[in-house]
Structure 1
Amino acid sequence: MIPYKHEPTLDFSKEENKKAIQEAQKLVESELGKHYDLIIGGERITTEEKIVSINPAKKDQVIGTVSKANKELAEKAMQVALETFKTWRTWDARDRADILIRAAAIVRRRKHEFSAWMVYEAGKPWAEADGDVSEAIDFMEYYARQMIRLSKPQEMLAEPGDHNELFYQPMGVGVVIPPWNFPLAIMCGMTVSAAVTGNTVLLKPASNTPVIAAKFMEVLEEAGMPPGVVNYIPGSGAEVGDYLVDHPKTRFVSFTGSREVGTRIYERAAKVQPGQIWLKRVVAEMGGKDTILVDKGVDLDQAARDIVGAAYGYAGQKCSACSRVVAHADVYDELLAKTVELAKALSVGEPKDGNYMGPVIDKGAFDKIAEYIEIGKNEGRLVCGGGYDDSKGFFVEPTIFADLKPNDRLMQEEIFGPVVAFCKAESFDEMLEIANNTEYALTGSIISNDREHIARCRRDFEVGNLYVNRGCTGSVVGYQPFGGFKMSGTDAKAGGPDYLQNFLEAKTYTEKF
């Protein structure tokens, strides 16, 4: 198996890439409106109740309909997964890994097609969609290799005449609840990490993006994933999600989403149910309130570019997105002016037309962001954007509020949209204090030429992913393992060398000769 290499992303200023994505969009347009069944043990199951997926940039355009699971079908899926686990756990790690490598090759061949599905179902601009597909490929390639590494027994210390080993074994049935904002990459990474380690999976995709997950199920089947290893069961979080999180046979829950839902899952999973003979593991990534610190004496043009890229890529709908800028008083006004100039130049519109920024995901997100914009008008000074319109799709302008105070709501609460709060600090001590004053600790950046300040951030900036002299988004599998602490989650570090151990149990073996 060749060494892991990061899947490159494409430059859509090049005509050949632009034409390729436009051709893929035509293909996807020809398939809009189709129905997708549940998949349990390889069996397609149609239900009366449906989930309707729409284009957030064009509300009257139906992407597809998906059958909706209930408790009875969730229980059926659990029993299938339990039975399949008996054989899947015995597969050689290399054979499980090879399925991921083949799936990665299939997605690579269909890269533009998967990007186009995200343009329509998730409202992703071309570059963001392409990056999402690249990351999905990376997860499969990387986790396949990590599983082979972890499958080898670890030699331990031993007394003379003894032989000691430590090895890893799969756990059982896992419930995977991915988010809508990386509908292929994170969904794929969460699913294949649980499966390649020898577990079986109940996949409950996000209700906003179930068609992309259905397309990924087609890839797994083509790649040779045995029926019952991954079971596709879209459904209500309150019904199917709660039922499976509470289920006594659930061995682990892997979740990415909001703090509110994540803490609820954590609490429910902690309760030992009748018939349960283990403590459930929870892997949770729950969002952020990410800050870029801008020190004095830096290139403010580059700092503004870093802020805009981190704040408005995918309309700020990333848990790593920059939502706060804390700038030294000496550079605050000039940095703010440069950032506003760049933000006002961004094109906003339907992603299929090549715009930099598309819609937010749905009506709920739109209303929440609009409410925060109105809050911002009372807390700070609106210097850019502030407009929003849901007449055709859920569009919000790139928005900047200046002169926020550290404890204002816009500085404390996760907005998950294209809204940035600027805050002024008189010293680096104050900058760092403000950076750490939230309940989240996911990503952060320090833009500085002062080595002491950089060293202090390395030690004291409370984030799981710290970036120096660049934006706070754009982690790459195998390069920057991703995850945070405090209320950002369990810091499982997706895309890192330790991640698969979340879904494995360590067993020691001692033999006296």
Structure 2
Amino acid sequence: SAYPLVKTALASHNVRSIAHGVVAARHMGVPEHALEIQMLYGMAEPVKKAILEMGIPLCEYSPMGELLPGMAYLVRRLLENTSNESFLRKSFAEGLSPETLLSPPQIPDEPTSPESTKPAWPGPYGPEPPRDFGKAPLRENFARAVASVGRALAGTHPILVDGKRIVTSRELISVNPAHPSQVVGRTFLATREEAQRAVMAAQSAAHQWAETPVRERAGLLLRVADILRSRRDELAALQVYEVSKTWREADADVCEAIDFCEYYAREMLRLSQPRSMDPMAGEANHYLYEPRGVALVIAPWNFPLAISTGMSMAALVAGNPVIYKPSSLSPITGAALAQAVREAGCPRGVFQFLPATGTETATWLVEHPQVAIIAFTGSREVGLEILQRTASVRPGQQMLKRVVLEMGGKNAIIVDEDADLDAAVVGVVQSAFGFQGQKCSACSRVIVLEEQYHRFVQRLVEAARSLKVGDPVDPSVQMGAVIDAGARNRIQNLVELGRQVGELLFQGEVPKEGYFVGPTILGGIPADHRLAQEEIFGPVVCVMQAEDLEQALEVANATAYALTGGFYSRTPANIERIKREFKVGNLYINRKITGAVVGRQPFGGFKMSGIGSRAGGPDYLLQFLEPRTITENTLRRGFAPELEIGKSGPPVTGE
């Protein structure tokens, strides 16, 4: 439809695909000389003859270059053309009729697993699809949302406790990392007084919320999801300003928040189904779950809506009242979540929005004897401090606190000697530099087998050079600013250290205003150096060499973390070995290592990456529940029916 500005070239040996392209061009009024069909030299000669007879331009191409890649290309083509689904095989080798070959492709129905645990209500879970900003209407709608949110910045958002709005004498100001002079919004810092009121409100609401039917609690989550969905562009645009997310990253965060609501609502319905244990004559054994109590949710700034929603909604749907403390670097997005929960009809006292500093009020809340659960996502240092503080029993405390921690990673991608370098480079760039490397799942190390090292580095540097860094209000920007001046200075100091210890292979240019760090690639860093061992949380990746897969695995596993990892290879035996020996919570083969989807890739790690079950998975809600077993003797030994009768009639004398 963009003719004559864009010329269409269709590369295919599938007659149906070619015919579809030709008919589509004619339908749009594109002359046949403006359409080019591209086919390999020596393949499908009868098809080429027919195309030329129709007067359509035909381009024949043949691979050129080094011998080994050429042989690999030839083998791949042979495998493709002889596969069971190949059009060429079906037409030339198997002789299927033209009617069969040209019939519309059919997608078979997915089989229903007899072991499926999805409840009948409210229907099966499915992830929220991301926006396709390649489509003009969606792009224009989001641009309007970004402009609208930008005009409405600097609003004030009070604390929310027991359904009441509270202001204090201390303001918390959120600024735009790309333009630090721009105020995104204001909220108020809670003191111990507000924190105590929040605990009391949550404790008062705990019993009634626990007794609320699971369907009603799940219904609350579904209403929150609907509200987030209706404000999707607005909430994503807010993150463009508050945490400097690009359009796609911001939209993905809102999608994930919606997914958590939808998934956990269904999971709680599943878990609430009555379960009878091993049957035994004369005895009934029932296994059930009950809420634990007041939950404290301490959220990070890097996924200010998604992770906040995930932890909070998990606690809520399990029947626990929540005290939600957003990050002090993204409180306005946290306030938007609190508003959505309030509008969804959450009862008073069940959800408290409590902006606070970690060193004062949050620490006091962690130690409070009435707080039963702490769900935290953030740094290793703070996570370990929480774990240490909850190990001590305080006066008046009648339970052992349950702690759910997600603390980060030092994630590696291994590039095998036969890896598709084009795919590996794309995966590393997305994993290392997406959202400026400020993801616990981000790639911080690339371990390349020696044979591929120099070619890989050359391509990686050029790919990083192509990234545009700037204010993500601009849709063409691929990297925004890091979160604040402290993060920028810390990352720059680590880059300087890398320059001294190893080699600075590349660092991108950045705007003068704002907290920007360009994509950075370091080489020659020893495997035991702090740059290869500690989480950087910025757009910095260390590229390392390994003699063989054995050494690559040894280096990859030799950190205190075990969160995400990746492997690019074409060798099935090596892939199977990686599955066995690469010890991480989320392992990705031949794809990027970020972007886990709720219900599809339950996310989390072990070692120093955290404790607890995987977020967005079938075990996650169990952390917010207390299991109980109830055993009843049904043989009725000593059963006195007269006592039952006596409840509605005169006393029985026993004579």
Question: TM-score category by the smaller chain?
Answer: over 0.9
Q: Which runs of 5+ in 2 are unaligned?
A: 1-121, 635-655
Q: Partner of 1:297: helix, strand, or coil?
A: coil
Counterpart of 2:324 in structure 1 is 203
* Greater displacement, 376-385 / 129-138: 376-385
Output the amino acid matched with 2:488: F
Counterpart of 1:490 in structure 2 is 611
The structural deviation recorded for 1:221 is 1.3
Using the alignment, how far apart are the partners of 1:406 and 1:119 within structure 2?
36
Deviations 1:210-246 (A, max 9, x none): 0011111111111111121110010111111110101
Q: Partner of 2:428: helix, strand, or coil?
A: helix
Counterpart of 2:194 in structure 1 is 73
Output the amino acid matched with 1:384: F
Is residue 358 of structure 1 aligned with residue 480 of structure 2? Answer: yes
Identical-residue share of aligned pairs (%) = 47
Matches within 5 A, 1:330-479: 330-354=451-475, 355-385=477-507, 391-479=512-600
Q: Which runs of 5+ in 1 are unaligned?
A: none
User: Which of 604, 616, 622 is the matching residue for 1:501?
Assistant: 622
Q: Partner of 1:215: helix, strand, or coil?
A: helix
The structural deviation recorded for 1:158 is 3.0
Is residue 91 of structure 1 aligned with residue 212 of structure 2? Answer: yes
- 8 Å CA contact retained: 1:464, 1:491: no
- 8 Å CA contact retained: 2:253, 2:303: yes
Output the amino acid matched with 2:246: P
User: Which of 40, 50, 56 is the matching residue for 2:177?
Assistant: 56
The structural deviation recorded for 1:119 is 0.2
Output the amino acid matched with 1:188: T
- 8 Å CA contact retained: 1:55, 1:63: yes
User: Which of 157, 162, 169 is the matching residue for 1:41?
Assistant: 162
Q: Partner of 1:331: helix, strand, or coil?
A: helix
Q: Partner of 2:211: helix, strand, or coil?
A: coil
Is residue 146 of structure 1 aligned with residue 267 of structure 2? Answer: yes
Using the alignment, how far apart are the partners of 1:451 and 1:205 within structure 2?
44
Using the alignment, how far apart are the partners of 2:590 and 2:455 within structure 1?
18
Counterpart of 2:351 in structure 1 is 230
Using the alignment, how far apart are the partners of 1:11 and 1:328 within structure 2?
36
Using the alignment, how far apart are the partners of 2:308 and 2:612 within structure 1?
17
Using the alignment, how far apart are the partners of 1:437 and 1:88 within structure 2?
45
Deviations 1:29-84 (A, max 9, x none): 23211111000011000111010000001000001110110111101100000001
Counterpart of 1:282 in structure 2 is 403
Is residue 124 of structure 1 aligned with residue 233 of structure 2? Answer: no
Using the alignment, how far apart are the partners of 1:388 and 1:364 within structure 2?
17
The structural deviation recorded for 1:182 is 0.2
- 8 Å CA contact retained: 1:328, 1:424: yes
The structural deviation recorded for 1:395 is 0.4
The structural deviation recorded for 1:386 is 6.0
Which protein is bigger by CA-based radius of gyration?
2
Output the amino acid matched with 1:104: A
- 8 Å CA contact retained: 1:398, 1:418: yes
Q: Partner of 1:61: helix, strand, or coil?
A: strand
The structural deviation recorded for 1:17 is 2.0
The structural deviation recorded for 1:159 is 2.1
Using the alignment, how far apart are the partners of 1:55 and 1:29 within structure 2?
11
The structural deviation recorded for 1:13 is 2.7
Matches within 5 A, 1:116-265: 116-265=237-386
The structural deviation recorded for 1:494 is 0.2
Q: Partner of 2:295: helix, strand, or coil?
A: strand
Q: Partner of 2:194: helix, strand, or coil?
A: helix
Q: Partner of 1:304: helix, strand, or coil?
A: helix
- 8 Å CA contact retained: 2:465, 2:508: no
Output the amino acid matched with 2:285: N
Deviations 1:343-385 (A, max 9, x none): 1000100010111100000111111101111011012211111
The structural deviation recorded for 1:414 is 0.6
Using the alignment, how far apart are the partners of 2:404 and 2:308 within structure 1?
14
- 8 Å CA contact retained: 1:373, 1:386: no
Is residue 314 of structure 1 aligned with residue 444 of structure 2? Answer: no
Output the amino acid matched with 2:556: A
Using the alignment, how far apart are the partners of 2:488 and 2:577 within structure 1?
38
Using the alignment, how far apart are the partners of 2:453 and 2:205 within structure 1?
59
Deviations 1:404-424 (A, max 9, x none): 221122211110000010000
Output the amino acid matched with 1:400: I
* Greater displacement, 160-169 / 397-406: 397-406
Deviations 1:391-414 (A, max 9, x none): 521001101012222112221111
Deviations 1:107-139 (A, max 9, x none): 111111000000000110000000000000000
Deviations 1:247-279 (A, max 9, x none): 111101000000000000010011111111111
Using the alignment, how far apart are the partners of 2:274 and 2:197 within structure 1?
35
Using the alignment, how far apart are the partners of 1:370 and 1:208 within structure 2?
20
Counterpart of 1:297 in structure 2 is 418
- 8 Å CA contact retained: 2:470, 2:510: no
* Greater displacement, 137-146 / 157-166: 157-166
Using the alignment, how far apart are the partners of 1:491 and 1:216 within structure 2?
24
- 8 Å CA contact retained: 1:370, 1:388: no
Using the alignment, how far apart are the partners of 2:166 and 2:345 within structure 1?
20
Output the amino acid matched with 1:204: K
Please list every run of at least 4 consecutive aligned residues from structure 1 whose deviation after the TM superposition is greater than 6 angstroms: none
Q: Partner of 2:483: helix, strand, or coil?
A: coil
Using the alignment, how far apart are the partners of 1:386 and 1:475 within structure 2?
27
- 8 Å CA contact retained: 1:57, 1:395: yes
Output the amino acid matched with 2:490: K
Using the alignment, how far apart are the partners of 1:421 and 1:231 within structure 2?
42
Using the alignment, how far apart are the partners of 1:475 and 1:33 within structure 2?
33
Q: Partner of 1:353: helix, strand, or coil?
A: coil
Q: Partner of 1:395: helix, strand, or coil?
A: coil
Using the alignment, how far apart are the partners of 2:257 and 2:594 within structure 1?
16
Matches within 5 A, 1:94-113: 94-113=215-234
Output the amino acid matched with 2:187: V
Using the alignment, how far apart are the partners of 1:386 and 1:356 within structure 2?
12
Output the amino acid matched with 2:388: E
Q: Could you say what the CA RMSD is over the residues aligned between the two structures, in angstroms?
A: 1.0
Using the alignment, how far apart are the partners of 1:272 and 1:89 within structure 2?
24
- 8 Å CA contact retained: 1:4, 1:141: yes
TM-score (norm 1): 0.98
Output the amino acid matched with 1:375: L
Output the amino acid matched with 1:274: P
